[in-house]
Amino acid sequence: MEKKIAYAECVSILKRELHQTAEIAALQAIIKKSVRQRQWTNFDLMMKTLKKIGSDFEKIDKNRMDILDNTYFYRLSLGFKPEERDILNDLYRKLKLEALRIRLENDSLLAYINESASLAEDFLKKVYPAAKGRIYGRNGTMAAPELHALEMKI
């Protein structure tokens, strides 16, 4: 038996997801600018905020998937009136495009970071070959590889 899904509930969920993706995209743009300009002051805070927004988005998306009950979105939208279906499909299409744009931006930032890390690693190997690519902290112990910002003063 197929359950009846409320139009208003679908619109509400899609609009919340679109709002979350807009927040993610805005914060991602700030992070990208910070990384490229090497401004690390609030980097960890921005990453925590981004993680929280992403977690909130996952909850909303899981709610949407529970409502869909493993049904394809466009198949589900066929159960609504044509004008309602057009609005739902438009919102869903915008959500998919925004998610794709965020993913592409994220991939380009990750490629930039990986290239920069590789460049820094090669630089350290050339300048100080005895370290064999390891990074040491202020107290002389080898620094653990963490996902925190590393700032080199050269």
140 is a domain residue: no
151 is a domain residue: no
The Cα 7–Cα 40 span in angstroms is 44
**Block residue for tokens 């963490």:** 146
136 is a domain residue: no
CATH of the domain at 23: 1.20.58
145 is a domain residue: no
pLDDT in tens, 89-118: 999 999 999 989 988 988 888 888 788 778
153 is a domain residue: no
Q: Which residue positions in the chain have pLDDT lower than 70?
A: 1-4, 68-70, 128, 130-140, 142-154
Model pTM greater than 0.85?
Answer: no
138 is a domain residue: no
The Cα 137–Cα 139 span in angstroms is 6
Domain carrying residue 42? 7-131
The Cα 54–Cα 60 span in angstroms is 10
Backbone angles phi, psi at 100, to 5 degrees: -65, -40
Domain count, the chain: 1
Amino acid in position 56: D
- Vertex 29: Cα angle to 23 and 30 (nearest 5): 95
**Block residue for tokens 């359950």:** 3
